[in-house]
Structure 1
Amino acid sequence: MFCGMGLHPHKKFLQRLGQLLQTYLMQTKCILAHRPYVTFVSLDELGVFPDLNHETFSIAEELVKLSSFVLKTMLPFWMAALTAFKQSRYADCVILLLPQLEVGLRLLFTTTNKCPNRLLTAEPSALYTTFDEMLAKHLDNEEVNQLPAVLQEPAMEFLWDFLNHQEGPRIRDRLSHGEINLEAFPREVANQIVAFAITLLCRFSDEDMVAFKEHMVIKPLMNCASCYRSQFHPISRLKKQVLKCMKSIHLWPELPTVPEEHIQMIKGLEGNAEASTLILMISEIVSQLQQYMPQNFYSSDDRIDSVLTERLLIELCDTHICTLYSPRPVLEAVVVFRKISTQCHQVSEKVIASTELRYKQWMNKTLRSRQRHNYLRMLNSIKFLSPVLRLILVLITLELVNVHLVSKKKPFEYQQYLKFLKSILQYTENLVTYTSPEKNKWDETMELTNKTLIRIRNISDRKLMLMQLAT
């Protein structure tokens, strides 16, 4: 607690509380277990900047001495942070560097927002200007924060990714809460933060930094920083989800299966005509949506297999979508999109697992009569489940590309749109249940799918989708 930040009675209470807790632990001989350390997963997603080498650090040390981003009184801390990295003390490096980034950004913040009195304020009535305030859209007085415009979108997205987004590393919070094993702090994380700091040293300085910016080891860092895209915003996570789900569905044709004539031989097995009808409906819907897709995905022949592809999703997901300060309706829609994608992936994984297991049991002749019927019903259902799941993935991705248009809908229209999305979510949730080994309601998935396709077609006919607002 900084001097002057809390009222005296509060500080006295906290001090006394700490003493009481210590006494209690000693008397009861109780040992408090440390909270589990956070494990950084998908470190490859954090690897935006190239690996820093000795030459990069030599130039960084020169930059620290020249850049106006660094307060001269803070110079020793910058040098200590760089030294810590070179000595493989990555946690020490980040612990030293984050406050210096905060100070440098605070200097920019107070300059651009014309509030120099906020630079080093720490009093009961005015606390330190922290990352949270500097990264916000508005100031306390409701005026627009000018710092994002100065830093520009890529730098803001990097800061939000590493500090704020719930699914990101949230380095500052986890370090301050003791959630990270300092001895095992990942080099990859420290590398990214140091590299980003170097780009700020180059960008914000009174000195002429052209020679530094064009240097062979600095220029790649500047290029990476200028084209950074958020990795951990919900929109970015959704893009990764739909691509992963589509990869899973594309495994279906490779699954082992019994010959088609075995399916025809089973008495009482129906549904081929119904499956064909559903596939025809899917093709008609794809035909309606093609005008909102990239032109190279137009097809008048096989609309399903040539249009509902991983290649289309990759191209759509490569579309830049602004993630900074997304309004509430946008975030609400994205939440539903993500839930739908998650359910689709669960269905795909269940189908893969069930198909492999049942095929093995079929070949070993260990399936009872009812199980054989269920297995063949499943194979029959896969014919339409694959295209309908791919249709849903393409649909929510097309909507995602235009998601900011949701804010233009009137309140009633917005609620109707959400209702439609939630009906798709309900359908995918029901699919997860019906395709489980416990339920095996494969025939029932046809009726569910038919109702959902009719709903999608009606919404498309009424031009209520976001992609249709864009034209």
Structure 2
Amino acid sequence: MTVDDLLHHFSDLISWTCQEQVIKECFRLLKTDKLTDNYLALLLVTSCLERALGDVYLLENTICPSMLKDILSSSTLKKIFGPTVVQILRAVIGPPISLNLRNVIWHGFPTEQEISKRYTCFLLIVLPSLDQYLQGDIPHRSPIIFHQDSQYAEILQDINDMTSEEMKISMQTSSFIPKYQLTLWNHCIDLYNTDKPGLAMVLLLPLLEHALRCQFSIVNNCPGRTITAEATTLYTTLDEILDQYVTENVENKLPSEIGESIMEILMDLLTYPSGPRIRDRLSHGEADVFTFPKSLCTAVVIVTVHITSKYQPADDCCKKPWLKRIASWVNQYEALFHPVSLVKSKIKEVTKIAGQFNKHIEYTYTLDQRTHWNDKEIIDSNFQENDLITKETTAIINLLCNKWNIRKTIQEVLNSVFIGEMLNIKVQTFFRYKDSGSGNQDGEIINLLLRIVTECETVITQVFTALQTRQEQLKNKTLRSRQRNNLQSLIKCCFIIHQSLHLIVWLTTCDLVTIETKKLEEKKHIKCLKMVLQFTENLRTYTNSENNKWMECVNLSIKTMDKLKQFIT
């Protein structure tokens, strides 16, 4: 029977999974009789089954557990499928005391010879068998879309010139890769080079985890945490491998073994909450393997090749230009999804849109059409608050510049180019700011900075929306008298809103790049940041479409600048 015949026979019975393409791929892989294909099929069918069972769980619940064993032990599945079916599922893919197929293979323990085809076949029979217990259609969660792929596509353009043969030779001569899994590693390269990045990642990530686990156990002298998965022992997972500590007081030596840059890349790709978290997404069936971004796959392949090259004879590596290019890329890598990186990225976005204030104002403060497009058209010289905010802002800038023994004017400081130059200052991210509840409060500071600049972005966007709406109404002569006064007030207040927000963004930039110096005054500093956050939140409220309270924004800005000056003094 062909794969198409099988699918035609089972089509109605597997539609409940909403993963017909994955199941078809599993059948196709089983037909090849290659052990590596059977291994890949089991990885696919276990993640597919977990996702489908999670959708069933959500028929009666609002949040799906992150672990398959919790889904299988739920009353919802027992109610829908019955205790016998659930018991069978638990025996095969359930907790550690079961066969535990899902965890054993997704954590990279077995070789291809150790995975019998009967396991994959059994699960592929289970999938259509479960249909009979379901009543009607099941709502399905949409696959995860990886928005981070473009960032890697941009930074990987010049180094992705490895050939399949070169990568395989590199792996064959590297002591990093367990020899008993070399066939699986070679198959990963074949999948990558035949433009199947999703399938390549499904196979490569468990193998990479296991190879890292082996090195972790060697360098940390804990052989008991390495090679086997046992029912009575919790094995070492990727989160522990990439953690700062082996135990509470013992530091992980893996970073010094493979390099901090490699660890940073792995955490970016696999563990940081704002990153793609590709291992979690693929293993839990959240991502579509057939549309998986090639750039993310390339990033994992490149860092993997670099790790393998570190475990080769030195002469084998130093002569290969492509390995030198990879090494250069790895060594210069800066985290993309660490909290510090997120703050930097958000500051860049906000300074860019903040610089567009002038072009969004099409009318003068007297509501005449602008002709010269200079500041005099939109800044009312009789509006005393303008002078007051400039005075307060200048005082704050002078106070800080005096502290740092530099001389800068307000025009130089509140400038996107200057802020961009400050953001080029490197801030240590490795094993930093993991939480806000530890002894130091760096994590809380970073979180506050991110919230502040995010609020600034919202305020600017709301002001631009208000300008666009009211000015369009003015053009069309549909503004009522009260709305006309509101637009006039908005244009008159824009200078103060803009200058206040630009100062706040500059201050967050200063905080970020000087965070190492804040240790002795963290409590006072956090109190100041919370005050600034409250200010930006209030601005957000005043500037939303329901309020449009522009003079309140001005008064609040002046009041806050005075408070800031007191904090800095």
TM-score bracket, shorter-length normalisation: 0.7 to 0.9
**What is the alpha-carbon distance in structure 2 between the residues aligned to residue 43 and residue 376 of structure 1?**
44
SS in 1 for 2:564: helix
Aligned to 1:253: 358
Aligned to 1:147: 254
Matches within 5 A, 1:59-74: 59-74=166-181
Aligned to 2:548: 440
Shift of residue 132, structure 1, vs aligned partner? 1.2
* Deviations 1:271-308, CA, capped at 9 Å, x for gaps: 7112211111111211222246796xx43xxx233221
SS in 2 for 1:183: coil
* Deviations 1:87-115, CA, capped at 9 Å, x for gaps: 11111111111122112212221221112
Aligned to 2:6: none
| AA aligned opposite 1:343 | E
Which is further off, 440-449 or 15-24? 15-24
Aligned to 2:340: 235
Aligned to 2:424: 318
Which is further off, 150-159 or 113-122? 113-122
- TM-score of the pair, normalised by structure 1: 0.86
| AA aligned opposite 1:385 | I
Shift of residue 178, structure 1, vs aligned partner? 0.3
Shift of residue 418, structure 1, vs aligned partner? 2.1
Which is further off, 419-428 or 16-25? 16-25
Aligned to 1:117: 224
| AA aligned opposite 2:272 | H
Q: State which of 17, 20, 24 in structure 1 corresponds to 2:86.
A: 17
Quick check: 1:44 aligned with 2:156?
no
| AA aligned opposite 1:101 | L
Aligned to 1:466: none
Alignment gaps of 5+ in structure 2: 1-41, 43-68, 90-125, 369-379
| AA aligned opposite 1:193 | V
Q: 1:16 to 1:415 in 2, by over 3 A?
A: farther
**What is the alpha-carbon distance in structure 1 between the residues aligned to residue 525 and residue 259 of structure 2?**
33
Shift of residue 133, structure 1, vs aligned partner? 1.1
Q: State which of 14, 21, 26 in structure 1 corresponds to 2:132.
A: 26
**What is the alpha-carbon distance in structure 1 between the residues aligned to residue 505 and residue 243 of structure 2?**
33
8 Å contact from structure 1 (residues 52, 191) kept in 2: no
**What is the alpha-carbon distance in structure 2 between the residues aligned to residue 294 and residue 363 of structure 1?**
50
SS in 1 for 2:462: helix
Aligned to 1:468: none
Shift of residue 55, structure 1, vs aligned partner? 4.6
RMSD in angstroms over aligned alpha carbons?
2.8
Aligned to 2:184: 77
Matches within 5 A, 1:118-267: 118-140=225-247, 142-205=249-312, 207-208=313-314, 210-260=315-365, 262=367
SS in 2 for 1:440: coil
* Deviations 1:331-387, CA, capped at 9 Å, x for gaps: 111111111111100111111122122222223322111111111111111111111
**What is the alpha-carbon distance in structure 2 between the residues aligned to residue 294 and residue 157 of structure 1?**
34
Q: 1:54 to 1:392 in 2, by over 3 A?
A: closer
SS in 2 for 1:139: strand
SS in 1 for 2:544: coil
Displacement over 4 Å in runs of 4+ = 13-16, 18-25, 51-55, 260-263, 291-295
Shift of residue 325, structure 1, vs aligned partner? 2.4
**What is the alpha-carbon distance in structure 1 between the residues aligned to residue 149 and residue 538 of structure 2?**
34
* Deviations 1:196-253, CA, capped at 9 Å, x for gaps: 1111111123x22x44344222221110111111101111111110110111110011
Q: 1:262 to 1:172 in 2, by over 3 A?
A: closer
* Deviations 1:4-57, CA, capped at 9 Å, x for gaps: xx9xxx9xx987526699988624434434421000114222233346666533
Quick check: 1:420 aligned with 2:489?
no
Matches within 5 A, 1:348-367: 348-367=460-479
**What is the alpha-carbon distance in structure 2 between the residues aligned to residue 46 and residue 276 of structure 1?**
46
| AA aligned opposite 1:321 | V
- TM-score of the pair, normalised by structure 2: 0.72
8 Å contact from structure 1 (residues 49, 221) kept in 2: no
Q: 1:61 to 1:254 in 2, by over 3 A?
A: same
| AA aligned opposite 1:173 | D
Matches within 5 A, 1:377-456: 377-406=489-518, 408-409=519-520, 414-456=522-564
Quick check: 1:99 aligned with 2:206?
yes
SS in 2 for 1:217: helix
Shift of residue 450, structure 1, vs aligned partner? 1.4
**What is the alpha-carbon distance in structure 2 between the residues aligned to residue 460 and residue 221 of structure 1?**
45
SS in 1 for 2:163: helix
8 Å contact from structure 2 (residues 258, 310) kept in 1: no
SS in 1 for 2:362: coil
Q: 1:275 to 1:155 in 2, by over 3 A?
A: same
SS in 2 for 1:102: helix
**What is the alpha-carbon distance in structure 2 between the residues aligned to residue 274 and residue 31 of structure 1?**
62
Q: State which of 370, 374, 384 in structure 2 corresponds to 1:273.
A: 384
Aligned to 1:266: none
**What is the alpha-carbon distance in structure 2 between the residues aligned to residue 59 and residue 223 of structure 1?**
18
